[in-house]
Every structure is written in C-alpha cells, then in structure tokens.
Chains A and B, each alone.
Chain A
Amino acid sequence: DIQMTQSPSSLSASVGDRVTITCRASQSISSYLNWYQQKPGKAPKLLIYAASSLQSGVPSRFSGSGSGTDFTLTISSLQPEDFATYYCQQSYRTITFGQGTRLEIK
C-alpha cells in the first residue's frame, strides 16, 4: 500500500498569512495527487487535482505543486473561511488519504 504522510499535523496561522502544507508519498505517484478541504460537520471539498490543477470554483489563492513523492498545497493569503482540515489523496494505486492537517486561527 502507498502511505501518505502530511506535515504538519496541525498549524496555527493568521488571516493574510501564506501557508504551505506538505504531503509525502511512500513511493513515487507521478502526479496522481489531489487535495481536499473539510470543515467541521461538512463533507470534503476538492481543491486541487492532478497535483497542480485548480478545481472549478476554487479561489486562486490555493495552489498545488510537486510530483513523484513530494507535494505541497499553498494558500497565498489566508482568509477566515480557509480555517479547516486539509487532506491529500493519492490514486496511483487505489486510493489513500493523508492523515490530515488542521489549520487553526492564531
């Protein structure tokens, strides 16, 4: 199985900050990597697919990069509605999610 490890597990930041979340795969997954945002009590929302493509309707402050084993999700200027938990997901071999990164208000 391919393991996905996110770092950090939690993060405190302020509105306006630039934030980067990292996801590492246990083996190369090319660009078979998606990012999701989940708010409490809600279903996840797809943000980024194929490592760097922005899902329709998602603000441009969100961006993704990487290939192979190392990937990043960047939020260029945090907005109040961005405080949530973020998950990476690989689909190179079936599907595995990372453990999540909780983004909290400082």
Chain B
Amino acid sequence: EVQLVESGGVVVQPGGSLRLSCAASGFTFDDYTMHWVRQAPGKGLEWVSLISWDGGSTYYADSVKGRFTISRDNSKNSLYLQMNSLRTEDTALYYCAKDDGYSYGWGIDYWGQGTLVTVSS
C-alpha cells in the first residue's frame, strides 16, 4: 500500500523558514517523480514543485520560485521542501504527492494527508 506521510508544518512568522518532509513507502520511490501541491484554507489546489526520480530535474511554480527548494533522498525514501522568505500567502495545507508515471506530462495518483503551514505574525 502506498503511503505518503508529511511532517514539519508549524506556525512561522513572515520572512521565516521551514523544511517540510515526506516519508514514502509501499512503492519503489526512486522510480517516480514526486510533487508538492498546496491548498490554502477554503481555496483550490495549487501545484508548487516537482522533482524527477533522480533529482536531476526540478520545476517550480512562479509564486515560489527563488524561495522554495525541492529535494529528495532516495536512500531514505524521503522528499523535502525547503521554504524560505515565507509570506502570509504561503499559508496552506501542503501535500506530498506521487506522480502516476503514465499521464501525458505529469499526473498524481497518490497524495499524503497534508501538513499545515501557517505564516502569521
């Protein structure tokens, strides 16, 4: 059974930093692209970033480019999101998600339960 368990969400002040982690199990982690997707309270889904199976390619939404860094450690079956220069508009539930590997481009077939990041003074 595929499991994705996020951690690291807390309340942080504007301008602060935070690192989210995601522990993956139930599939061959280093075979798949992985994603971070966020959802502000009561709002829609916003894709944040993706990283290829080997970490060689990364992409970011314009809203986080230059502030967030995605990374992975395949030896630990773990995905990370380093978040710097946080803004109030970064407040959201952050989902770790697994690429399905068969959509045209990218698609997501498994999601974690999410970890809540609140940026507030």
Contacts and interface: CB of A to CB of B under 8 A. Distances in A.
Given A31-B104, A43-B112, A46-B109, A1 B62 contact: yes
A27 to B, nearest CB: 14
A89 interface: yes
Given A32-B105, A50-B103, A50-B104, A100 B44 contact: yes
Given A1-B62, A97-B46, A99-B44, A91 B114 contact: no
**Is chain B's interface secondary structure helix, strand, loop, or mixed overall?**
loop
Q: How large is the interface on B (under 10, 10 to 19, 20 to 34, 35 or more residues)?
A: 20 to 34
Nearest to B102: A49
A13 interface: no
B47 interface: yes
Contacts of A95: 35, 47, 50, 105-106
Interface string A21-38: 000000000111110101
A91 B106 contact: yes
Contacts, number: 67
Give the secondary structure class of A's interface.
Answer: loop
Contacts of A92: 104-105
A73 to B, nearest CB: 14
A91 B104 CA distance: 7
Interface in B36-94: 44-47, 50, 59, 61-62
Interface residues of A, number: 28
A71 interface: no
Contacts of B108: 34, 36, 44, 46, 89
B102 to A, nearest CB: 7
Given A44-B111, A94-B59, A30 B44 contact: no
Interface of A: 1, 30-34, 36, 38, 43-44, 46, 49-51, 55, 85, 87, 89-92, 94-100
Q: Identify the 5 closest CB pairs spanning chains A and B, nearest first.
A: A91-B105, A43-B111, A95-B47, A91-B106, A49-B103
Interface of B: 35, 44-47, 50, 59, 61-62, 95, 100, 102-109, 111-114
